[in-house]
Amino acid sequence: MAKKKTIQNDALATNRKARFNYSIEETVEAGIVLTGTEIKSVRAGQITIGDGFVTIHDGQAYLTNVHIANYEQGNQFNVEPTRSRILLLHKRQIQHLAVLAKESGVTIVPLKVYLKKGFAKVLIGVGRGKKQYDKRQSIKKRDVERDLKRQFKN
- What local confidence, expressed as pLDDT, does residue 131 receive? 85
Burial of 98 (0-12, 13-18, 19+ CB in 10 A): middle
Q: How confident is the model at residue 2 (pLDDT cuts 50, 70, 90)?
A: low
Q: Which distant-in-sequence residues (6+ apart) come within 8 Å of 20 by Cβ? A: 130, 135, 138
pTM: 0.81
Give the CA distances from residue 149 to residues 11, 16, 61, 137, 152, in Å, rounded to whole numbers and listed in that order. Answer: 26, 21, 41, 18, 5
- Is residue 68 pLDDT above 80, yes or no? yes
- What local confidence, expressed as pLDDT, does residue 104 receive? 87
Q: How confident is the model at residue 37 (pLDDT cuts 50, 70, 90)?
A: confident
- What local confidence, expressed as pLDDT, does residue 4 receive? 57
Look at domain 11-153 and name its CATH class.
mainly beta
- Is residue 6 pLDDT above 60, yes or no? no
- Is residue 8 pLDDT above 70, yes or no? no
- Is residue 70 pLDDT above 80, yes or no? yes
Residues 55-65 have a mean pLDDT of 94
Cα separation of 46 and 65, whole Å?
14
Residues 25-38 have a mean pLDDT of 92
Which pLDDT tens digit goes with each residue over 84-143? 999 999 999 999 999 999 988 899 999 999 999 989 999 999 999 888 888 898 889 999
- What local confidence, expressed as pLDDT, does residue 53 receive? 94
